[in-house]
Amino acid sequence: MKLSVIYDSKTGNTQAAAEAIAAGMMKAGGVEARCFRIPEVDADFVNESAGIVVGSPTYAAGLTPDLYDWLMRDSMPLIRPAGKLGGAFATGQYIHGGEDLTIQFLLTHLLVRGMMVYSGGNAFGHPVVHIGPVAISPDKEGFRELFEIYGERFAAQAKKIIE
């Protein structure tokens, strides 16, 4: 099963989070997970994927202008997301910087595109990830385990859907 993580990253923090999610996805076994920075998305791989997780650094309490443009106007029309499992994540510089708004925008966009969205919520206990994982500076590396767990849970749910 293929899974994709699509992200924008300005300083490398969101890229590290995306890579942690992909590593977690592969822990689920039988998964080929790949990360794609916009605009370098492999549309063929993403279209073959059972699920897509999209992430952004938080910029002015929202996603980056580049990711917004990609979702709304650029390459996203090349992706056929309907029926796939979707998820979202964000990184930020400080608590209450709008990371939740960023994730909610991304999830809403995925829903509008016909995707089913994933949230582990509190169904799996600790760590609770209600709408998507968030990493906050300056300790972004301290959040790596959270992102890996999210990726593993996402992959497990994608397997349930396609089986």
pLDDT, tens digit (0-9, with 9 covering 90-100), for 126-160: 888 889 999 988 777 789 999 999 999 999 999 99
As a whole number, mean pLDDT of residues 40-45 equals 94
- Residue 50: per-residue pLDDT: 97
- Residue 57: per-residue pLDDT: 96
pTM for the model stands at 0.94
Residue 30 has pLDDT above 90, yes or no: yes
Please choose, from the candidates 14, 6, 30, 146, the residue with its C-alpha nearest in 3D space to the C-alpha of residue 84.
6
Count up the domains in the chain and report the number: 1
Domain of 32: which CATH number?
A: 3.40.50.360
Give the H/E segment covering residue 102. helix 99-112
- Residue 138: per-residue pLDDT: 74
Report, in this order, helix, strand and coil percent for the chain, each rounded to 5.
Answer: 40, 20, 35
pLDDT greater at residue 45 or residue 119: 45
- Domain range for 26 is 2-162
- Residue 74: per-residue pLDDT: 56
CB 35 within 8 A of CB 2: no
For 67-124, the pLDDT digits (tens) are: 999 888 755 667 888 999 999 999 998 888 899 999 999 999 999 999 999 987 777 8
Please choose, from the candidates 162, 93, 163, the residue with its C-alpha nearest in 3D space to the C-alpha of residue 134.
93
- Residue 162: per-residue pLDDT: 85
DSSP-assigned states of every residue in 73-88 = TSSGGG---TTSEEEE
